[in-house]
Structure 1
Amino acid sequence: MSGPFVFIATNKVRDGKIEDEQRRVPGWIQFIQDNEPRTIGFHEYRSADGTEVEYIQIHPDTDSFEHHMRVLSDLANPSWKETLEGTTAIRMYGRPTQAILDMLEALAGAGIPVTVFDQHLGGFTRLQG
């Protein structure tokens, strides 16, 4: 059974930069909305202590996520480097392509823990109308 491709990345916030990150998010979300029309969902959450944020992305398939990675490489403003220290963990739901794994290593670096749940057993996604 094929399901959506879900990606979750945990990122460490630079010391004293959580407020800057919170101010950066609306523009970042708008950028994703404008440049990635197939993305089903894109959310950022912060930890209670403000030391970490997580990106949760829902894509209809791996092609959509590969497009996201290309957009990051080609068009994205690197302002996240001012507020985020780096990725500390990645979780993927769906079978990533080798291209996705290669792009993630190039962007996040080698040695980041990656967990993959590649077998979709069932579920549904409701779209707001």
Structure 2
Amino acid sequence: MAEPIYYVDRSDIREGKLAEVKNGMHDLATFVQAREPQLIAYHFYIDESESTMTTVAVHPDSASMELHMELGGPKFRLFGALIRMRSIDVYGRPSAVVMDQLGQKAEMLGGGIVTLHTLQAGFSRLHPPRNSD
């Protein structure tokens, strides 16, 4: 069974670009929802000071993340004038292709650091247990 991949990135929102970032987040979420039915979760957050954007995604496997990077690439570029990428944290076992794509994305959006975290222990309940009534 493929291991899910958890993705978290953080970016600084450029001065005066908050409204454009919010519009871009909604556009990107709608775009991804319509084209990537395999994606388990895809969320954008803005902190209380409205200066930091965080993206959280859960992919069922590395192939899902690779597809996401290919489809979303042109959309990600639009954020280049709106944000400065600080970091990308990846939890799981993405392919070398995905890691290369993430490095390119980080560089394109401001040079953030990409960090890979490998699973040591734990479990996921992606499908809740069924009652045996």
- Taking structure 2 as the reference length, what is the TM-score of the superposition? 0.81
Structure 2 unaligned segments of length 5 or more: list them.
129-133
Identity percentage of aligned residues: 25
Pairing 1:16–2:13 present: no
Deviation at 1:42, TM superposition (A): 0.2
Following superposition, the deviation at residue 58 of structure 1 comes to 0.2
Q: Does the aligned pair in 2 maintain the 1:2–1:120 contact within 8 Å?
A: no
Q: With CA pairs under 8 Å and 6+ residues apart, which has the higher RCO, 1 or 2?
A: 1
SS of 1:89's partner is: strand
Aligned position for 2:105 = 107
The superposition leaves residues 27-59 of structure 1 with CA deviations (integer Å, 9 ceiling, x where unpaired) of 211101011111100000111111110110000
RMSD: 2.4
Provide structure 1 residue ranges, at least 5 long, that are not aligned to the other structure.
Answer: none
Q: Is the 8 A contact 1:94 1:120 kept in 2?
A: no
For 2:24, what is the secondary structure of its paired residue?
Answer: helix
User: Matched residues in 1 for 2:5 and 2:94: separation?
Assistant: 8
CA distance in 2, matches of 1:21, 1:93: 25
Matched residues in 2 for 1:69 and 1:88: separation? 18
SS in 2 for 1:38: coil
Amino acid at match of 1:30: T
Which range is displaced more, 113-122 or 94-103? 113-122
Structure 1 pair 127/46, CA: closer, same or farther in 2 (3 Å)? farther
- SS of residue paired to 1:10: strand
The residue type equivalent to 2:123 in the other structure is: G
Q: How many residues align?
A: 126
Q: CA offsets per residue over residues 90-111 of structure 1, 9 Å max, x none? A: 1111022211111112222196
Q: For the residues of structure 1 that align with 2:39 and 2:2, how far apart are their CA atoms? A: 17
Which residue pairs with 1:83 in the alignment? Answer: 82
CA displacement at 1:118 relative to structure 2: 1.3
